[in-house]
Amino acid sequence: MKNGHEEPYAHASYRIAGPTHIAFSGGRTSAYMLYHILAAHDGKLPSDVVVSFQNTGREMPETLDFVADCARHWSVPITWLERDSDDDRGFRTVGHNDAARNGEPFQRLVEERGYLPNAVARFCTAELKVRVAKRYMLSLGYSHWTSVLGLRADEAKRVARACAPTKERWQNHCPLADAGITKRQISAFWKRQTFDLRLANVEGKTPLGNCDGCFLKSEKTLAALIRDFPERAQWWLDVESGVRTRGRASRFNKNFALADLASFVDRQGDWVFDQEDALCDAPHGFCE
């Protein structure tokens, strides 16, 4: 294989034509997808295929390192973007050194909106990721394009939703789903690589992936963040306590206030993590 690519990449879905945006989340799945798209193009993307990573400011440092590692190991340009309402384009380009690490783009968005995102009003995804990528593609002069998403074959509902016709300027394409790739193959792939995302892989999921305290994560995952990374959890506690909607305390999570969860973890100690029913382990969706 050329350019150090050792994996088979036979599926036609990895071959990309025309103006295309590859949404790189900084997780193992989208990195696997990027690797195979690269391999299908002999290690070099066509000039009208661009890859970007939208930084919310709440990614774990390991995720930022992984994005930089993928670019370096695979010699692929990945543009780092952050929402910036002071910039005429609505975004700014950053890099590993100057990327926001304390939630600045996220906090600014919440301040501008005056209320918190939650599982049914995920304006953080829309504003910090989807619209930033759209503005970036427009800034490059593209009017219509394909958006390549890292959704797997074992995420059929998400794939069906993503690939339905849209009124947007882009049509989504999910090559991993087309190629029948599931969590199992992605985990096996990363075991064979010389580098990896240095965040725990728990049955094919990365509890600390995406925004560290995302409200779509389960109560149990958020409780673990509070216990293991109290200084990172504090950002979410501070933002939640600083926003009031129509005079009332606002919450990221419908079922609990983060301050109450933090207090519960503090009072109860480690046993709640071992007790099956003490904390709910059901997530509330996915960040696109």
The contact set with ligand SF4 (CB under 6 A) reads 56, 117, 122, 124-125, 128, 210-211, 214, 216, 287
Which residues, including other chains, have CB under 8 Å from residue 40's CB and lie 6 or more apart? Answer: 9, 14, 15, 16
User: Nearest CA to 26 among 159, 197, 281, 145?
Assistant: 197
Nearest position to ligand SF4, beta carbon: 287
Angstrom CA distances, 115 to 83, 209, 237, 287, stand at 18, 24, 14, 19
Closest distance of CB 113 from ligand SF4, Å: 12
Closest distance of CB 255 from ligand SF4, Å: 16
Specify the residue, 20 or 221, whose C-beta has the smaller distance to ligand SF4: 221
Specify the residue, 39 or 216, whose C-beta has the smaller distance to ligand SF4: 216
Closest distance of CB 129 from ligand SF4, Å: 6
Specify the residue, 157 or 192, whose C-beta has the smaller distance to ligand SF4: 157
Closest distance of CB 198 from ligand SF4, Å: 19
Specify the residue, 68 or 128, whose C-beta has the smaller distance to ligand SF4: 128
Specify the residue, 142 or 215, whose C-beta has the smaller distance to ligand SF4: 215
Closest distance of CB 114 from ligand SF4, Å: 17
Specify the residue, 136 or 142, whose C-beta has the smaller distance to ligand SF4: 136
Closest distance of CB 17 from ligand SF4, Å: 29
What ranges make up the beta strands (E) of the chain?
20-23, 49-54, 79-83, 91-94, 145-148, 170-173, 244-245, 248-249
Distance CA 263, CA 122 (A): 26
Angstrom CA distances, 233 to 15, 113, 222, 239, 245, stand at 41, 22, 8, 10, 21
3-state secondary structure of 61: helix
3-state secondary structure of 39: helix
User: Nearest CA to 2 among 41, 57, 58?
Assistant: 41
